[in-house]
Protein backbone atom coordinates (compact mmCIF):
# COMPACT_ATOMS: atom_id res chain seq x y z
CA UNK A 1 0.00 0.00 0.00
CA UNK A 2 1.60 3.25 -1.12
CA UNK A 3 -0.94 5.91 -0.26
CA UNK A 4 -3.20 6.56 2.66
CA UNK A 5 -6.46 8.40 3.18
CA UNK A 6 -6.63 8.18 6.95
CA UNK A 7 -9.37 10.26 8.53
CA UNK A 8 -7.79 13.17 10.42
CA UNK A 9 -10.88 13.41 12.58
CA UNK A 10 -9.72 10.23 14.26
CA UNK A 11 -6.99 12.17 15.99
CA UNK A 12 -7.50 12.65 19.70
CA UNK A 13 -7.56 16.24 20.89
CA UNK A 14 -6.73 16.92 24.51
CA UNK A 15 -10.06 17.85 26.14
CA UNK A 16 -8.57 20.25 28.68
CA UNK A 17 -6.62 22.31 26.16
CA UNK A 18 -8.76 22.94 23.09
CA UNK A 19 -6.88 24.55 20.22
CA UNK A 20 -8.37 27.30 18.12
CA UNK A 21 -8.07 26.43 14.43
CA UNK A 22 -6.10 23.15 14.80
CA UNK A 23 -4.01 22.10 11.82
CA UNK A 24 -5.98 18.84 11.57
CA UNK A 25 -8.75 20.91 9.95
CA UNK A 26 -6.50 21.92 7.04
CA UNK A 27 -4.42 18.82 6.26
CA UNK A 28 -4.57 16.65 3.13
CA UNK A 29 -5.13 13.04 4.09
CA UNK A 30 -3.55 11.52 0.96
CA UNK A 31 0.23 11.12 0.82
CA UNK A 32 2.85 8.68 -0.46
CA UNK A 33 4.62 6.52 2.09
CA UNK A 34 6.73 3.39 2.46
CA UNK A 35 7.84 1.44 5.49
CA UNK A 36 11.33 1.47 6.93
CA UNK A 37 13.77 -0.68 5.01
CA UNK A 38 11.96 -0.39 1.68
CA UNK A 39 14.10 -0.16 -1.43
CA UNK A 40 14.45 3.07 -3.36
CA UNK A 41 12.90 1.39 -6.41
CA UNK A 42 9.85 0.49 -4.32
CA UNK A 43 9.48 4.08 -3.16
CA UNK A 44 9.65 5.38 -6.73
CA UNK A 45 7.13 2.77 -7.84
CA UNK A 46 4.85 3.85 -4.99
CA UNK A 47 4.92 7.39 -6.38
CA UNK A 48 4.11 6.14 -9.89
CA UNK A 49 1.12 4.13 -8.70
CA UNK A 50 -0.26 6.76 -6.35
CA UNK A 51 -3.09 9.07 -7.32
CA UNK A 52 -2.11 11.95 -5.08
CA UNK A 53 -1.66 15.38 -6.71
CA UNK A 54 1.80 16.12 -8.06
CA UNK A 55 2.57 18.60 -5.29
CA UNK A 56 1.85 15.99 -2.63
CA UNK A 57 4.21 13.47 -4.26
CA UNK A 58 7.32 15.60 -3.82
CA UNK A 59 8.17 13.64 -0.68
CA UNK A 60 7.91 9.97 0.18
CA UNK A 61 7.22 9.56 3.88
CA UNK A 62 8.72 6.74 5.89
CA UNK A 63 6.77 5.05 8.68
CA UNK A 64 7.33 2.01 10.86
CA UNK A 65 5.14 -1.08 10.94
CA UNK A 66 2.75 0.67 13.35
CA UNK A 67 2.27 3.71 11.13
CA UNK A 68 4.44 6.01 13.22
CA UNK A 69 6.27 8.77 11.39
CA UNK A 70 10.04 8.28 11.00
CA UNK A 71 11.00 10.86 8.39
CA UNK A 72 10.75 11.59 4.69
CA UNK A 73 12.81 11.24 1.53
CA UNK A 74 12.67 13.80 -1.26
CA UNK A 75 11.59 12.35 -4.59
CA UNK A 76 14.38 14.23 -6.36
CA UNK A 77 16.97 12.46 -4.20
CA UNK A 78 15.39 9.05 -4.75
CA UNK A 79 15.40 9.47 -8.54
CA UNK A 80 19.18 9.93 -8.44
CA UNK A 81 19.79 7.07 -6.02
CA UNK A 82 20.61 3.41 -6.63
CA UNK A 83 17.32 1.56 -6.95
CA UNK A 84 18.57 -1.40 -4.90
CA UNK A 85 19.57 0.73 -1.90
CA UNK A 86 17.15 1.31 0.97
CA UNK A 87 15.31 4.55 1.64
CA UNK A 88 16.82 4.62 5.14
CA UNK A 89 19.93 6.26 3.73
CA UNK A 90 17.91 9.16 2.35
CA UNK A 91 15.62 9.84 5.31
CA UNK A 92 15.49 13.42 6.53
CA UNK A 93 13.29 15.44 8.88
CA UNK A 94 12.85 12.92 11.67
CA UNK A 95 11.82 15.79 13.96
CA UNK A 96 9.71 17.60 11.37
CA UNK A 97 6.25 16.26 12.25
CA UNK A 98 3.78 18.44 14.15
CA UNK A 99 0.90 17.44 16.41
CA UNK A 100 -2.61 17.37 14.99
CA UNK A 101 -3.81 19.95 17.54
CA UNK A 102 -1.15 22.56 16.77
CA UNK A 103 -2.60 25.88 15.67
CA UNK A 104 -2.72 26.37 11.91
CA UNK A 105 -0.57 29.49 11.90
CA UNK A 106 2.15 27.86 14.02
CA UNK A 107 2.24 24.82 11.72
CA UNK A 108 2.40 27.03 8.63
CA UNK A 109 5.28 28.98 10.17
CA UNK A 110 7.12 25.72 10.80
CA UNK A 111 6.76 24.61 7.18
CA UNK A 112 7.97 28.03 6.04
CA UNK A 113 10.94 27.92 8.42
CA UNK A 114 12.00 24.38 7.48
CA UNK A 115 11.66 25.12 3.74
CA UNK A 116 9.98 21.82 2.86
CA UNK A 117 7.13 21.22 0.37
CA UNK A 118 5.05 19.14 2.80
CA UNK A 119 4.68 19.09 6.58
CA UNK A 120 3.76 15.74 8.18
CA UNK A 121 1.03 15.80 10.83
CA UNK A 122 0.72 13.08 13.47
CA UNK A 123 -1.83 12.12 16.09
CA UNK A 124 -1.28 11.52 19.79
CA UNK A 125 0.29 8.11 19.03
CA UNK A 126 2.79 9.63 16.54
CA UNK A 127 0.89 7.96 13.71
CA UNK A 128 0.96 9.99 10.52
CA UNK A 129 -2.53 11.20 9.59
CA UNK A 130 -1.91 13.74 6.85
CA UNK A 131 0.22 16.51 5.40
CA UNK A 132 0.10 20.28 5.18
CA UNK A 133 0.99 21.45 1.68
CA UNK A 134 3.02 24.55 0.90
CA UNK A 135 0.09 26.19 -0.90
CA UNK A 136 -2.25 25.61 2.04
CA UNK A 137 0.37 26.99 4.43
CA UNK A 138 0.70 30.17 2.37
CA UNK A 139 -3.09 30.56 2.34
CA UNK A 140 -3.12 30.28 6.14
CA UNK A 141 -0.37 32.86 6.54
CA UNK A 142 -2.01 35.23 4.07
CA UNK A 143 -5.30 35.04 5.97
CA UNK A 144 -3.59 35.53 9.33
CA UNK A 145 -1.69 38.56 8.03
CA UNK A 146 -4.89 40.06 6.63
CA UNK A 147 -6.68 39.54 9.94
CA UNK A 148 -3.77 41.08 11.88
CA UNK A 149 -3.80 44.20 9.71
CA UNK A 150 -7.57 44.62 10.04
CA UNK A 151 -7.53 44.05 13.79
CA UNK A 152 -4.73 46.57 14.22
CA UNK A 153 -6.72 49.12 12.26
CA UNK A 154 -9.67 48.62 14.60
CA UNK A 155 -11.99 47.09 12.00
CA UNK A 156 -12.01 43.53 13.30
CA UNK A 157 -14.49 41.62 15.42
CA UNK A 158 -12.59 41.89 18.69
CA UNK A 159 -14.01 39.07 20.79
CA UNK A 160 -15.16 36.66 18.07
CA UNK A 161 -12.09 35.72 16.10
CA UNK A 162 -13.80 32.86 14.27
CA UNK A 163 -15.92 35.28 12.21
CA UNK A 164 -13.22 37.01 10.18
CA UNK A 165 -14.03 40.42 8.78
CA UNK A 166 -13.78 40.17 5.03
CA UNK A 167 -12.72 43.11 2.95
CA UNK A 168 -15.74 42.76 0.69
CA UNK A 169 -18.05 43.20 3.70
CA UNK A 170 -16.30 46.43 4.65
CA UNK A 171 -16.23 47.84 1.13
CA UNK A 172 -19.45 46.43 -0.34
CA UNK A 173 -21.56 45.38 2.64
CA UNK A 174 -24.19 47.37 4.56
CA UNK A 175 -23.15 50.88 5.56
CA UNK A 176 -24.14 50.35 9.18
CA UNK A 177 -22.00 47.24 9.41
CA UNK A 178 -18.91 49.20 8.36
CA UNK A 179 -19.80 52.03 10.74
CA UNK A 180 -20.33 49.61 13.63
CA UNK A 181 -16.98 47.85 13.36
CA UNK A 182 -15.03 51.10 12.93
CA UNK A 183 -16.67 53.55 15.28
CA UNK A 184 -15.81 51.81 18.59
CA UNK A 185 -12.14 52.72 18.58
CA UNK A 186 -12.83 56.11 17.00
CA UNK A 187 -14.88 56.88 20.09
CA UNK A 188 -11.82 56.03 22.17
CA UNK A 189 -9.89 58.59 20.13
CA UNK A 190 -12.68 61.14 20.66
CA UNK A 191 -12.68 60.61 24.41
CA UNK A 192 -8.89 60.82 24.48
CA UNK A 193 -8.93 64.09 22.57
CA UNK A 194 -11.40 65.59 25.04
CA UNK A 195 -9.24 64.49 27.96
CA UNK A 196 -6.13 66.05 26.41
CA UNK A 197 -8.14 69.20 25.68
CA UNK A 198 -9.11 69.37 29.34
CA UNK A 199 -5.45 69.07 30.30
CA UNK A 200 -4.51 72.01 28.08
CA UNK A 201 -7.34 74.03 29.62
CA UNK A 202 -5.91 73.41 33.10
CA UNK A 203 -2.64 75.06 32.02
CA UNK A 204 -4.25 78.06 30.34
CA UNK A 205 -2.37 80.46 32.62
CA UNK A 206 0.97 78.93 31.62
CA UNK A 207 0.16 79.33 27.92
CA UNK A 208 -1.03 82.88 28.49
CA UNK A 209 2.20 83.82 30.24
CA UNK A 210 4.49 82.23 27.64
CA UNK A 211 2.85 82.30 24.20
CA UNK A 212 5.86 80.52 22.64
CA UNK A 213 4.84 77.32 24.45
CA UNK A 214 1.83 76.94 22.13
CA UNK A 215 4.10 76.68 19.09
CA UNK A 216 5.52 73.34 20.21
CA UNK A 217 2.31 71.60 21.31
CA UNK A 218 1.67 70.04 17.84
CA UNK A 219 5.29 68.88 17.75
CA UNK A 220 5.03 67.09 21.10
CA UNK A 221 1.76 65.41 20.09
CA UNK A 222 2.56 64.50 16.48
CA UNK A 223 6.06 63.16 17.08
CA UNK A 224 4.81 60.77 19.74
CA UNK A 225 1.95 59.71 17.48
CA UNK A 226 4.29 58.84 14.63
CA UNK A 227 6.58 56.83 16.90
CA UNK A 228 3.62 54.98 18.45
CA UNK A 229 2.28 54.06 15.02
CA UNK A 230 5.71 52.79 13.97
CA UNK A 231 6.07 50.65 17.08
CA UNK A 232 2.59 49.14 16.96
CA UNK A 233 3.02 48.35 13.25
CA UNK A 234 6.37 46.67 13.91
CA UNK A 235 4.74 44.64 16.70
CA UNK A 236 1.84 43.62 14.45
CA UNK A 237 4.12 42.46 11.65
CA UNK A 238 6.59 40.79 14.02
CA UNK A 239 3.82 38.96 15.86
CA UNK A 240 2.24 37.83 12.58
CA UNK A 241 5.58 36.50 11.32
CA UNK A 242 6.51 34.85 14.61
CA UNK A 243 9.40 37.21 15.36
CA UNK A 244 7.64 38.54 18.46
CA UNK A 245 6.45 35.85 20.88
CA UNK A 246 4.58 35.99 24.17
CA UNK A 247 7.19 33.78 25.86
CA UNK A 248 10.13 36.10 25.20
CA UNK A 249 8.21 39.38 25.07
CA UNK A 250 9.68 41.09 28.14
CA UNK A 251 13.20 39.72 27.87
CA UNK A 252 13.70 40.27 24.15
CA UNK A 253 11.04 42.22 22.28
CA UNK A 254 9.94 44.83 24.82
CA UNK A 255 13.42 45.48 26.19
CA UNK A 256 14.77 45.96 22.68
CA UNK A 257 11.95 48.31 21.67
CA UNK A 258 12.38 50.31 24.89
CA UNK A 259 16.10 50.67 24.12
CA UNK A 260 15.32 51.74 20.55
CA UNK A 261 12.71 54.20 21.82
CA UNK A 262 15.10 55.69 24.34
CA UNK A 263 17.81 56.13 21.71
CA UNK A 264 15.40 57.82 19.31
CA UNK A 265 13.97 59.96 22.11
CA UNK A 266 17.42 61.27 23.08
CA UNK A 267 18.27 62.17 19.48
CA UNK A 268 14.94 63.85 18.77
CA UNK A 269 14.97 65.71 22.09
CA UNK A 270 18.47 67.09 21.49
CA UNK A 271 17.62 68.32 17.99
CA UNK A 272 14.22 69.79 18.92
CA UNK A 273 15.53 71.31 22.15
CA UNK A 274 18.37 73.02 20.31
CA UNK A 275 16.01 74.42 17.67
CA UNK A 276 13.57 75.64 20.34
CA UNK A 277 16.40 77.32 22.25
CA UNK A 278 17.69 79.35 19.31
CA UNK A 279 14.34 79.88 17.56
CA UNK A 280 12.05 80.93 20.43
CA UNK A 281 14.10 80.70 23.62
CA UNK A 282 16.86 83.24 23.03
CA UNK A 283 14.75 85.85 21.14
CA UNK A 284 12.08 85.79 23.88
CA UNK A 285 14.58 85.69 26.76
CA UNK A 286 13.40 82.23 27.91
CA UNK A 287 16.45 79.97 27.36
CA UNK A 288 14.79 77.30 29.51
CA UNK A 289 12.38 76.66 26.64
CA UNK A 290 14.91 74.39 24.94
CA UNK A 291 15.04 72.13 28.01
CA UNK A 292 11.26 72.13 28.34
CA UNK A 293 10.72 71.09 24.72
CA UNK A 294 13.52 68.53 24.85
CA UNK A 295 12.31 66.81 28.02
CA UNK A 296 8.69 66.79 26.82
CA UNK A 297 9.66 65.25 23.48
CA UNK A 298 11.85 62.66 25.18
CA UNK A 299 8.91 61.65 27.38
CA UNK A 300 6.44 61.57 24.49
CA UNK A 301 8.67 59.57 22.12
CA UNK A 302 9.87 57.08 24.74
CA UNK A 303 6.35 56.56 26.10
CA UNK A 304 4.92 56.05 22.60
CA UNK A 305 7.61 53.53 21.65
CA UNK A 306 6.98 51.47 24.77
CA UNK A 307 3.19 51.66 24.46
CA UNK A 308 3.39 50.63 20.80
CA UNK A 309 4.56 47.22 21.97
CA UNK A 310 2.89 47.10 25.38
CA UNK A 311 -0.72 47.85 24.43
CA UNK A 312 -1.04 45.07 21.79
CA UNK A 313 0.67 42.67 24.20
CA UNK A 314 -1.80 43.48 26.98
CA UNK A 315 -4.73 43.00 24.60
CA UNK A 316 -3.44 39.59 23.55
CA UNK A 317 -3.00 38.56 27.20
CA UNK A 318 -6.57 39.69 27.90
CA UNK A 319 -7.82 37.30 25.23
CA UNK A 320 -8.53 39.95 22.62
CA UNK A 321 -7.16 39.04 19.21
CA UNK A 322 -3.94 40.57 18.03
CA UNK A 323 -3.64 44.32 18.65
CA UNK A 324 -7.14 45.50 17.73
CA UNK A 325 -7.36 49.27 17.72
CA UNK A 326 -4.29 49.77 19.91
CA UNK A 327 -3.41 53.07 18.25
CA UNK A 328 -6.26 55.11 19.83
CA UNK A 329 -5.15 54.05 23.32
CA UNK A 330 -1.51 54.77 22.51
CA UNK A 331 -2.38 58.20 21.14
CA UNK A 332 -4.40 59.20 24.20
CA UNK A 333 -1.85 58.04 26.77
CA UNK A 334 1.22 59.48 25.07
CA UNK A 335 -0.51 62.82 24.33
CA UNK A 336 -1.63 63.18 27.93
CA UNK A 337 1.75 62.15 29.34
CA UNK A 338 3.82 64.26 26.95
CA UNK A 339 1.76 67.43 27.42
CA UNK A 340 1.56 66.99 31.18
CA UNK A 341 5.35 66.83 31.39
CA UNK A 342 5.59 69.74 28.94
CA UNK A 343 3.44 72.07 31.02
CA UNK A 344 4.84 70.97 34.38
CA UNK A 345 8.39 71.53 33.15
CA UNK A 346 7.40 74.92 31.74
CA UNK A 347 5.76 76.07 34.97
CA UNK A 348 8.75 74.88 37.00
CA UNK A 349 11.68 76.07 34.88
CA UNK A 350 10.14 79.26 33.53
CA UNK A 351 8.57 80.13 36.87
CA UNK A 352 4.91 80.38 35.90
CA UNK A 353 2.44 79.43 38.61
CA UNK A 354 -0.28 76.97 37.65
**pLDDT (tens digit, 9 = 90+) per residue, 254-291?**
999 999 999 999 999 999 999 999 998 888 888 888 99
Mean pLDDT of 86-95: 91
Axis-axis angle for helices 326-349, 175-202 (nearest 10): 10
Q: Which CATH class is domain 167-349?
A: mainly alpha
**pLDDT tens-digit map of 92-121:** 888 899 999 998 888 998 998 888 889 999
Give the pLDDT of residue 14.
37
Quote the DSSP letter at residue 73.
E
Query: For position 72, what pLDDT does the model report?
Result: 94
Nearest CA to 237 out of 222, 253, 224 is that of: 253
Distance CA 354, CA 351 (A): 9
- Whether residue 52 contacts residue 32, with contact meaning beta carbons closer than 8 Å, is answered with yes
Instruction: Provide the 10 A C-beta neighbour count for residue 18.
Output: 9
Cβ(325)–Cβ(188) below 8 Å:
yes
Q: How many helices (H) and strands (E) does the chain have?
A: 11, 7
What span, in angstroms and rounded, lies between the C-alpha atoms of 5 and 33?
Answer: 11
Question: Is the distance from CB of 136 to CB of 107 less than 8 angstroms?
Answer: no
CA distance 96 to 119: 7
> Residue 120: what pLDDT?
94
Q: Is the pLDDT of residue 51 over 80?
A: yes
Give the pLDDT confidence of 295-353 residue by residue, as tens digits.
Answer: 989 998 999 899 888 888 887 777 665 444 677 777 788 888 888 888 888 888 777 66
Q: Cα-flanking dihedrals φ and ψ of residue 208, to 5°?
A: -65, -35
Q: How many CB atoms lie within 10 A of CB 115?
A: 7
DSSP conformation class of 215: G
- Sheet arrangement for strand 118-122: 98-99, 118-122, 128-133
- Mean pLDDT over each residue of the chain, to the nearest integer: 81
Kindly tell me if the per-residue pLDDT of 149 is higher than 80: no
**Span(s) in the chain for CATH 1.10.357.20:** 167-349
Angstrom distance (rounded) from CA 244 to CA 234: 9
Domain with CATH 3.10.580.10 in the chain: 3-140
For 247-263, b/e burial (b = at least 16 CB within 10 A) is: eebeeebbeebbebbee
State the average pLDDT over residues 194-200: 88
Polymer length in residues for the chain: 354
User: Which one of 3.10.580.10, 1.10.1200.10, 3.40.50.300, 3.90.280.10 gives the CATH number of domain 3-140?
Assistant: 3.10.580.10
pTM: 0.55
Whole-number Å distance between alpha carbons of 330 and 303: 9
Beta strand 98-99 pairing with 118-122: parallel
Amino acid sequence: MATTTLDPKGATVAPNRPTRDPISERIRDAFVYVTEGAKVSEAIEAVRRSRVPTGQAACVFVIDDKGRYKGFARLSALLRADGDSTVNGYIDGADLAVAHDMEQEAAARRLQLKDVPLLPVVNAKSEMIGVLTFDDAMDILEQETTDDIMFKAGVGDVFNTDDHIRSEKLTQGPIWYTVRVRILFLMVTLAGGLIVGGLIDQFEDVLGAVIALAIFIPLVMDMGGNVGTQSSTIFARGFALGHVTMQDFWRKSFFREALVGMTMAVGIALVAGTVAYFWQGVPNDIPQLGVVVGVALFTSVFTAACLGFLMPYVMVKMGIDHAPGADPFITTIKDFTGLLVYFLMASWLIGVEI
